[in-house]
Amino acid sequence: MSTTADDLREEVRRRYAESANAVTSGEANSGCGSGSCCGETDGAGADFGEALYDAEQRGGLPNTAVLASLGCGNPTAVAELREGDTVLDLGSGGGIDVILSAKRVGPTGLAYGLDMTDEMLALAQRNAAEAGIPNAIFLKGVIESVPLPAESVDVVISNCVINLSVDKPAVLLEIGRVLRPGGRIGISDVVAEDRLGTSDRAERGSFVGCIAGALSQSEYVQGLEAAGFEDVSVTFTHEVADGMHGAIVKATKPAAAETQRRELPLVQKAGCC
């Protein structure tokens, strides 16, 4: 039986709900032990989750925010966040990157977190309250259809989530829609080497494990350029499986008022792994 996009999205939602429940109940010793992306890779503790944040960052956060960290990078370390910025985190999970962003942009800025999982949203809201962060706002929704107005944010970040999308062209267009002219992205994601086709990626891990659905380096670059971005770069940081890497993705929306939107021929939609 073939796997549909709805099936994949529900599997992602279920696995992340389980992760949130494990952290909330005290059953998880680390986010990577809860059946998330980082549970599928050998040596995952060094490649995913809380290990990618330095001690100073972790020390100022609620423990449950640290334990719920399931990403493959630290987008707040690469995104150029400025005081007064409005930031959007796609797939905000337990809220670690939203909380850190809210601290960076200060009281005159805002940090939005978008997630489709009720359990993660509830955990993130508790974590922000415990951290005393008033400028963190959590929204329910999917990253393919962001519930924010056009040109309403300065920076979009995301941490190992776009690879889980069932419609990556829609995600890239939504990022462009919500960013103000001159806005920028700082994304951590799992990215494949160009030598790996879709079947090669599927052999290395599942879709919900952040591997099978990952874009290749050239697909990411071409997809962002086709969505109208400039100064696009995809830089590998560490290998998480053979030919699969944690990567930093950066780009800028042109300052011109209107961004040309073209078809995205090389960016894959979800299919069976």
Reported as a single tens digit per residue, the pLDDT across 73-93 is 678 878 889 999 999 999 998
Model confidence at 168, pLDDT cuts 50, 70, 90, reads very high
Would you say 99 and 61 are in contact if contact means Cβ atoms under 8 Å apart? Answer: yes
Q: Residues for the chain: how many in total?
A: 273
Residue 134: φ, ψ to 5° = -85, -15
Domains of the chain: 5-252 (3.40.50.150)
pLDDT top residue among 41 and 217: 217
Can you tell me the distance from the alpha carbon of 223 to that of 201, in angstroms, rounded to the nearest whole number? 18
Contacts of 169 (CB under 8 A, 6+ apart): 223, 227, 264, 267, 269
Where is mean pLDDT largest: 39-53, 63-77, 218-232? 218-232
CB-side neighbour CA atoms (13 Å) of 147: 12
Instruction: Please tell me the distance from the alpha carbon of residue 259 to that of residue 229, in angstroms, as a whole number.
Output: 8
Structure token pair of residue 43: 């040596």
Query: Which residue is associated with the tokens 């978008």?
Result: 114
CA separation for the pair 259, 257 (Å, rounded): 7
| 88-128 pLDDT, tens digit each | 999 998 898 999 999 999 999 999 999 999 999 999 999 99
pLDDT digits (tens, 9 = 90+) for 5-25: 888 888 888 887 888 788 777
| Mean pLDDT, range 182-187, rounded to an integer | 96
